[in-house]
Amino acid sequence: MPERLIEGHPTYSSARKAFDEVADRYARATAACAKSNKIAAELERSIERLRSEHAELKARLPALAMQAIEATDTKFTAAVDGRAELQRILWEIEARTDALAGVRRAHTLNNLHGAAESAAISHTAAQERFDRVRTNVRNRVASALAAAFCDDKIGFEVEDLTDWPEREEAEAFVRSMM
């Protein structure tokens, strides 16, 4: 029996709602954990990039000083600007390191990894429960409809089918299978 025919069944609907709530919690927990991990990774990469820039610029400072002498720049403008840039890079590294520590602290305080793992376990269990309910509902509905048609009952009433919007379509499906 196609799943679309049992979607409106009350037992199926309540099981789907319960599963969807767990799935939403799982999605939120994994998204929060992934976002935190992504921010931390981006900060780590940018800190490494800045350290590389710092090392390259620091290695060029003696050459900048020599160029100032050759250009008769008594203020050593390029070398001074280079040293100012070195300091700015160091401050940016410190700021990003502070931010990274804050992200890691928030990740730990909010237990994002644990929450994501817990949500994953709950999601798996909820999926298994939902799959069992879906199978049971499908089997009960198919059995009830088949029994009703096999017994040639007209206007049969099966208790868990009375509020079922797809009942007529399911009956037609069972008729087509017989």
The reported pLDDT for the residue numbered 154 is: 44
Q: For residue 128, what are the CA distances in angstroms to 16, 134, 178?
A: 12, 10, 31
What digits encode the pLDDT tens for the residues 51-74?
A: 999 999 999 999 999 999 999 999
pLDDT of amino acid 71:
93
Q: Number of structural domains, the chain?
A: 1
164 inside domain: no
- 137 belongs to a structural domain: no
Asked whether residue 84 is domain-assigned, the answer is: yes
The pLDDT value recorded for residue 156 is: 45
Q: To the nearest whole number, what is the mean pLDDT of the chain? A: 86
Q: Name the residue with higher pLDDT: 139 or 134.
A: 134
Give the DSSP per-residue string, 109-129. HTTHHHHHHHHHHHHHHHHHH
What integer pLDDT is reported at residue 151 of this predicted model?
60
Residue 65 covered by a domain: yes
pLDDT (tens digit, 9 = 90+) per residue, 7-38?
Answer: 878 888 899 999 999 999 999 999 999 999 99
Residue type, 51: R
Residue reference for tokens 């800190």: 47
Residue 88 clears pLDDT 70, i.e. is over it = yes
- Residue at 104 is within a domain: yes
- Of 89-93, 95-99, 106-110, 123-127, the one with minimum mean pLDDT is 106-110
Q: What is the pLDDT of residue 119?
A: 94
CA–CA dist 104, 106 (Å, integer): 5
- In a domain? residue 151: no
Which pLDDT belongs to residue 58?
97
**Segment of 2-11, 81-90, 168-177 carrying the highest mean pLDDT:** 81-90
Higher pLDDT, 143 or 79: 79
Q: Is 56 a member of any domain?
A: yes
In terms of residue numbers, what domain contains 61? Answer: 3-128
User: Is residue 140 one of the residues assigned to a domain?
Assistant: no
Average pLDDT of the residues in 152-168: 55
Q: Residue 141 has what pLDDT?
A: 77
This prediction's pTM: 0.64
